[in-house]
Structure 1
Amino acid sequence: MADPDKTEKATPKRREEARKQGNVAKSSDLSGSVVMLAGLLALGLAGPSMVQRMAGGIRDTLALGGSTDPVTKSSIGELLMRSGMNVAICLAPIVGVCALAAIVVNVAQVGLRPKTKALKPSFQRLNPKNGIKRIVGKQGLVELAKNIVKLAVVCWIVLGSFLPHMTDYAAMVGVSPWQLGSAIAAKVKGIAFRAAFAYLLIGVVDYFWQRRTREEGLKMKKEEVKEEGKGQDLPAEVKGAIRRRQRETARARMMADVPTADVVVTNPTHFSVALKYDGKSAAPIVVAKGQDLLALRIREIAAEAGVAIVPDPPLARSLHGSVEVGHQIPEELFQAVAQILAYVYRVAGRRRLGTA
């Protein structure tokens, strides 16, 4: 059942990903009908020469049987070789035309870009649950309906061709085998072509159905389209510039938050981590952190703003390596940070008392 939230047409990226997975609009009925028509046309064109060649082979076999010469292994082998060559020569045009038709009709449906990923084995295809869904689900019902229609069309064509002419066939009693064979061959040829054209019509309808079903399956939600639009492929230079701009913006925002910190824990020269605790959050939050030159800049801004700077190398390294900017400190660091904050509050309190 289609997802009602998926209302947007698939993007080119989504279509390409589906194609790589082997999800293409392709009708096996259309391919089969085209191959069938091609085979009938080839058989009609090559039929007379095939009959002559096969008749020659039968004459050679009968001549060998009626010959007074002794039958040897070499003569039988030569006969078998000649018969095999006759069969191969007779079938080669038909097989070649059918193969060419199959290639053309499949390329016309899916294009000239084969995807080897679709040929890789997948255990999902062997999952009985998925197989049952395909049989009893919407796809299974569609396939059942198509098979019933195909069977009904063939029966209608065969019965419609033979029943009205039953008296004509009865009147052919006593005619020569050649005349009877020609009449039957002409009738069978007409039935085969009518059935092939009806099958072709079913294949065309099925192909458009497959395209429609694929389009419905590839539809996307509006949120998916927006997210994919954000990740469109861009030149490497543009991506790099965007990332640099994002880093610069984040760094500027981080530096702007340093004056709001309660304390800056340092290494004392390699790392600096600015902490803020407003009493509303469950734990202190890292508002800024940096290494080397960035750490030096954090200490400079903190000193200008009057933020306490406390050297504690182990704690500074732990905070810098385990906590991201804007996140709360982990529980295992609560005690160490609490001691530093208590020290800072005591010093700040003494300074206020001394100033007073």
Structure 2
Amino acid sequence: MQLKLDLQFFAGEKTEKATPKKRLDERKKGKVAKSQDINTAVLLLFCFIGLFVFGGYILKHMTGFYQKSFTEFIHWNVTEVSVQQVFTSATIEAAKMLAPIMLIAIVAGVASNLMQIGFLFTAEPLKFDLKKIDPIQGAKRIFSIRALVELLKSLFKIVFIGTITFTVIWIFKDDMLMTAFTNAENALGFFGRVTGIMGIAAIIALLFLSVFDYSYQRYDFEKNMKMSKQDIKDEYKNVEGDPLIKSKIKEKQRQMATRRMMSEVPNADVVITNPTHYAVAIKYDETKASAPYILAKGTDKTALKIKEIAKANHVITVENIPLARGLHSAAEIGDVIPEEFFKAVAEVLAYVYRLEKKV
């Protein structure tokens, strides 16, 4: 009894790698190994590049809008129509300024996901599931080991990125103090450069951390995807079918094929036997084939049945041990006999035709 329980325990232990079918099923549900840190790092990198490339374009539209505001809009009377026109104009200008960055952000988001998991579209995660609003299940997720790991990761990222940005500020602290003695344009230019340096440093740090995060996500995904030996057996049964049912289906198919084969025996010209273990029924019809072909064949009980049907339908039976064995192993039902048997079969058929003429 104890041994049986131990075997059941080990059979249920998840020690096996996930099968391709399970991976495909989980992928359809949207469950894949993915690091959000890679998405964040790539998104920030592309957006910073976009700001450097389109910075002049954005500045031009921004200053143009300010100029129009303080030279044209400022003289308008405050009415419902004028306020609406100002807000409409501001919205259009903001859309023009942000459009390149938004487009770059969309491309970056798609690219980072394609880089990790390839193309995947599924609505499965959007389906309503009562388990998602189950407070007990929610509490389990909140206080799980994975949630604790994610919390520690987030705290580490905050400290790591904060340390890097503070270091950049500390390096340029003297220059920052000196901006009090420069004009506004130079001060803004300096803070823009420092912000750019902090951004690039933070992006590099995030890319560095994302490598480790992706490795962890892959490890955790593979761990959760593991299957027990019983799971693999159950999956095989679902895919291939229950072995018992499958064997019964095959047996039924064999019986149907045998019945079809037996129904062709009365049409044979001759049945060649060995005489007890093999039987091969042959037909020669030049309108269907250029050479004699096999209508039926079998061994033991099937051979005996073929001979019985042949006898009942007055089909001549010829005993030829080597020819019967050779034809049985060399050709399948419906096949033309191989060339090396032409002469022997022709002699048998000639003999049969002579007997039929005598009759």
- TM-score, normalised to structure 2, is 0.61
Change (3 A) 1:135 1:72: closer
Asked if 1:56 corresponds to 2:64, the answer is: yes
What is the match of residue 188 of structure 1? Answer: 195
Change (3 A) 1:22 1:77: closer
- Aligned mates of 2:194, 2:171 — CA distance in 1: 12
> Residue 121 of structure 1 aligns to a residue in which SS?
coil
Change (3 A) 1:181 1:215: same
How many percent of aligned residue pairs carry the same amino acid?
A: 27
What is the match of residue 221 of structure 1? Answer: 228
Change (3 A) 1:244 1:168: closer
CA RMSD of aligned residues (A): 2.9
- Aligned mates of 1:80, 1:246 — CA distance in 2: 79
Change (3 A) 1:141 1:74: closer
- Structure 1: segments with no counterpart, 5+ residues: 250-356
Asked if 1:140 corresponds to 2:163, the answer is: no
- Aligned mates of 1:226, 1:118 — CA distance in 2: 28
- Aligned mates of 2:245, 2:25 — CA distance in 1: 25
Asked if 1:118 corresponds to 2:119, the answer is: no
Asked if 1:36 corresponds to 2:44, the answer is: yes
- Aligned mates of 1:113, 1:246 — CA distance in 2: 42
Tell me the alpha carbon deviations over residues 138-164 of structure 1, each in whole angstroms, 9 at most, x when there is no partner.
Answer: 111111111111111121112101123
- TM-score, normalised to structure 1, is 0.61
One-letter amino acid of the structure 1 residue matched with residue 194 of structure 2: K
Aligned with 1:96 (options 103, 107, 117): 103
Change (3 A) 1:63 1:132: same
What is the match of residue 245 of structure 1? Answer: 250
Change (3 A) 1:225 1:240: closer
8 Å contact from structure 2 (residues 141, 147) kept in 1 = yes
- Aligned mates of 1:117, 1:166 — CA distance in 2: 51
- Aligned mates of 2:69, 2:231 — CA distance in 1: 72
Tell me the alpha carbon deviations over residues 259-317 of structure 1, each in whole angstroms, 9 at most, x when there is no partner.
Answer: xxxxxxxxxxxxxxxxxxxxxxxxxxxxxxxxxxxxxxxxxxxxxxxxxxxxxxxxxxx
- Aligned mates of 1:103, 1:154 — CA distance in 2: 25
8 Å contact from structure 1 (residues 20, 118) kept in 2 = no
8 Å contact from structure 1 (residues 29, 206) kept in 2 = yes
8 Å contact from structure 2 (residues 43, 108) kept in 1 = yes
Q: CA deviation at 1:9?
A: 0.7
Tell me the alpha carbon deviations over residues 3-43 of structure 1, each in whole angstroms, 9 at most, x when there is no partner.
Answer: 99221111111112222332211222221221121111111
Q: CA deviation at 1:183?
A: 0.1
Asked if 1:205 corresponds to 2:215, the answer is: no
- Aligned mates of 2:213, 2:74 — CA distance in 1: 56
- Aligned mates of 1:114, 1:59 — CA distance in 2: 46
Tell me the alpha carbon deviations over residues 201-244 of structure 1, each in whole angstroms, 9 at most, x when there is no partner.
Answer: 2223222211111111111122322343344359xxxx998443
What is the match of residue 310 of structure 1? Answer: none
Q: How many residues end up aligned between the 2 structures?
A: 243
Bigger drift between 163-172 and 145-154 goes to 163-172
Report matched runs for 1:254-293 at 5 Å.
none
One-letter amino acid of the structure 2 residue matched with residue 166 of structure 1: K
One-letter amino acid of the structure 2 residue matched with residue 183 of structure 1: F
- Aligned mates of 2:56, 2:216 — CA distance in 1: 40
Tell me the alpha carbon deviations over residues 183-211 of structure 1, each in whole angstroms, 9 at most, x when there is no partner.
Answer: 00100111011112212222232222111
What is the match of residue 171 of structure 2? Answer: 164
> Residue 207 of structure 2 aligns to a residue in which SS?
helix
- Structure 2: segments with no counterpart, 5+ residues: 1-10, 255-359
